[in-house]
């Protein structure tokens, strides 16, 4: 079955959100907590299921690791400084099929983050619109509906292990861009695992 569309995780596979969370944590004097904060947030969304306000989860993750209450607001202020990884624009520009993103955030922040990539998308799906956070099936299902494709016709490029496992379970053709060399979890049979998008093709 040919690939009819490519869907990406936005905040990890395409955008270097880790650097922004690091900078936000650094400002109030906690430079060592940025990565831990982002990982705690990913763990929370992986089990959140039904959508709760994005910044509420960000605040919960911040509090869990000892960041001050100002951290979520600082992150929102820094949101438009998100930038794509160096390999992203070339990889996106090489595609001849529709491009989509699914992102675990609010409608507003999802649109702003997608604009930071610098390459247009045919479909942008947020957790708020889908009513649930990945790896719940709802966001993946909504992306397929908007693309007019079956899951098996979509190449999905994940940025986190949680997202990769969820995308495999939904029936996508999955590539996990494991930029941080995280341990490989169970549930990724058939998925391709690569360190970057350099040389990647759908």
Instruction: Spell out the domain ranges in the chain.
Output: 5-16+82-194, 17-80
What is residue 114's predicted lDDT score, i.e. its pLDDT? 98
**Where does 5-16+82-194 sit in CATH, by number?**
3.40.50.1000
In whole numbers, what is the pLDDT of the chain averaged over residues?
A: 95
Residue 100 Cα to chain centre, angstroms: 12
pLDDT band for position 54 (cuts 50, 70, 90) = very high
What is residue 195's predicted lDDT score, i.e. its pLDDT? 96
pTM of the model: 0.94
pLDDT of 13 > 90? The answer is: yes
- What SS3 state is found at 168? helix
Contact indicator for 48, 159 with CB cutoff of 8 Å? no
Across 11-25, average pLDDT: 95
Helix (H), strand (E) at residue 174: strand 173-177
What is d(CA 160, CA 118) in angstroms, rounded to the nearest whole number?
A: 22
What is residue 29's predicted lDDT score, i.e. its pLDDT? 83
pLDDT of 159 > 80? The answer is: yes
pLDDT of 198 > 90? The answer is: yes
What is residue 7's predicted lDDT score, i.e. its pLDDT? 98
pLDDT of 179 > 80? The answer is: yes
pLDDT of 28 > 90? The answer is: no
- CATH (one of 1.10.3470, 1.20.144, 2.170.120, 1.10.150) for 17-80: 1.10.150
What is residue 31's predicted lDDT score, i.e. its pLDDT? 80
What is d(CA 108, CA 56) in angstroms, rounded to the nearest whole number?
A: 15
């Amino acid at each position: 079955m040919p690939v009819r569309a490519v869907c990406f995780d936005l905040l990890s596979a395409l955008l270097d959100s880790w650097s922004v969370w690091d900078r936000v944590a650094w400002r109030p004097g906690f430079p060592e907590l940025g990565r831990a904060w982002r990982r705690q947030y990913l763990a929370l969304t992986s089990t959140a299921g039904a959508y709760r306000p994005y910044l509420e989860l960000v605040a919960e993750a911040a509090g869990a690791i000892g960041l001050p209450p100002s951290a979520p607001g600082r992150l929102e202020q820094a949101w438009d400084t998100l930038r794509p990884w160096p390999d992203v624009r070339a990889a996106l520009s090489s595609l001849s099929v529709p491009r989509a993103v699914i992102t675990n955030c609010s409608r507003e922040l999802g649109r702003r983050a997608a604009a930071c990539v610098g390459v247009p998308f045919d479909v942008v799906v947020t957790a708020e619109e889908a009513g649930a956070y990945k790896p719940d099936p709802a966001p993946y299902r909504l992306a397929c509906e908007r693309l007019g494709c079956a899951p098996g016709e979509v190449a999905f490029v994940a940025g986190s292990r949680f997202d990769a496992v969820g995308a495999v379970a939904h029936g996508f053709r999955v590539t996990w861009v494991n930029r941080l060399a995280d341990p490989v979890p169970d549930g990724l049979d058939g998925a391709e695992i690569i360190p970057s998008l350099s040389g990647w093709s759908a």
